[in-house]
Structure 1
């Protein structure tokens, strides 16, 4: 049984609103990530882009709209409900497909059906779920699949090296959230509780079984820690290209 488009649209819209509570300048961050990917893939025939920890495909859909018609965007997540919502809501976009995988697990890229080197891998507000070892493995695996000159672009809340600057950045996050009424949006737990109570989602949730969402191990690395792991994995150049408070877009070039 597949979700109908009306149900999917309702829950994707709630997801979009819920995420406003957590991602500082979320739309601007999406735009910056898309700018990087568009620039890196310019002139590349049939570029292939992975969206890691995609949820229902918020960033993946925006990338599909920005990239040429021959581009393919693959949204990857471990949660069957979020993937099914994305398939039902964005199913009309033939260049966007969805795949289930646990990022950083052994062989996680092997089941994605990749038929050529990856041009860009992106993620937003997702890789913080990984512990240090899973993150190290994910970075290493991605470095092996990205073409030379390809990029990994990660938009997330990333700690700063100096405790004083970190404290100031958190204060900026809080002030930004207050100005933009971020707390008015429902939170993560409320979204999932609501989904669990919706009979229209019962069949998908039953297939989800007892796995639930992957546990949050939280490597809790500062920028320096991410840079170290990325360089160990084989990325040549790593740096922050956008930042507000602790919200950053980190780019690593293969």
Structure 2
């Protein structure tokens, strides 16, 4: 029996929902396109000498970042990973001709085996996704990610990474909120998707899968500590606007025993 996730949606229907998705994301990320550009610029610089590099997008959602990577690095092999069947169906329907998409839950150890990867990853990326994970889950994720990325490869995480100093964090968040777009928000988008008969089966699958939301507000400092502990020996910020941060980590060249 074929699941609703595997059935392609009408491309026009999926494209319309993707446009609405990108618009509502602008409510939360004031410099979203600039953030995507920074990720792609970083990949272009770091992977300049790689022939057909393999790029893994963690928590890819409907594939917005994955698609931009494919456009900027046409020689790259890109795979998006997510556990939300509805968002994956949108990604496959619109971007499936240029990238692969795999269903796996990043909250569970062994997620990388479910992707079907058969070679080391040159770079892993993520945007506005890992704040769904608490620190203890991130620790496990980064350990598994270090086993997947080749030595010298990199991980790029673009997210709202909060400062541990409450007044600084408050100012940064207020500045971001003052600059984001208005319009449909996250809750309204999902409410509308739930009412769309074309998506009804996928909505039901999503509810069964336990695809979650929420913000665990893990700071950039904690991300750095967890990444270094997992096997990344260079970790730092390459771009920041308030609490909107692009953090880059380089996989250690040699494994310590």
TM-score (structure 2 length as normaliser): 0.91
1:89 aligns with 2:76: no
1:238 aligns with 2:241: no
Counterpart residue number, 1:168: 171
Structure 1: tracts of 5 or more residues without a match: none
1:120 aligns with 2:117: no
1:3 aligns with 2:3: no
Does structure 1 retain, via aligned residues, the 8 Å contact 2:233–2:249? yes
Whole-Å separation in 2 of the counterparts to 1:208 and 1:215: 12
1:74 aligns with 2:79: yes
Once the two structures are TM-superposed, the CA of residue 209 in structure 1 deviates from its matched residue by 4.8
Once the two structures are TM-superposed, the CA of residue 212 in structure 1 deviates from its matched residue by 4.3
Whole-Å separation in 2 of the counterparts to 1:68 and 1:210: 36
Counterpart residue number, 2:135: 132
- Tell me: CA distance 1:9–1:230, structure 2 relative to 1, closer, same or farther (3 Å): same
> CA RMSD, aligned part only?
1.4
Counterpart residue number, 2:162: 159
Once the two structures are TM-superposed, the CA of residue 90 in structure 1 deviates from its matched residue by 1.4
1:144 aligns with 2:150: no
Whole-Å separation in 1 of the counterparts to 2:101 and 2:158: 20
Cα shift readout 1:175-214 (whole Å, capped 9, x = no counterpart) = 222xxxx1x2211111111111001112333444523422
Indicate the SS of the match to 1:210.
helix
1:253 aligns with 2:256: no
Does structure 2 retain, via aligned residues, the 8 Å contact 1:78–1:214? no
TM-score (structure 1 length as normaliser): 0.92
Cα shift readout 1:110-149 (whole Å, capped 9, x = no counterpart) = 1111111111110011000001111001111111111111
Counterpart residue number, 1:17: 23
1:102 alignment partner, one of 95, 102, 105: 105
Once the two structures are TM-superposed, the CA of residue 41 in structure 1 deviates from its matched residue by 1.1
Tell me the matched-pair count. 245
- Tell me: CA distance 1:212–1:187, structure 2 relative to 1, closer, same or farther (3 Å): farther
Counterpart residue number, 1:53: 59
Indicate the SS of the match to 2:212.
coil
Indicate the SS of the match to 2:208.
coil
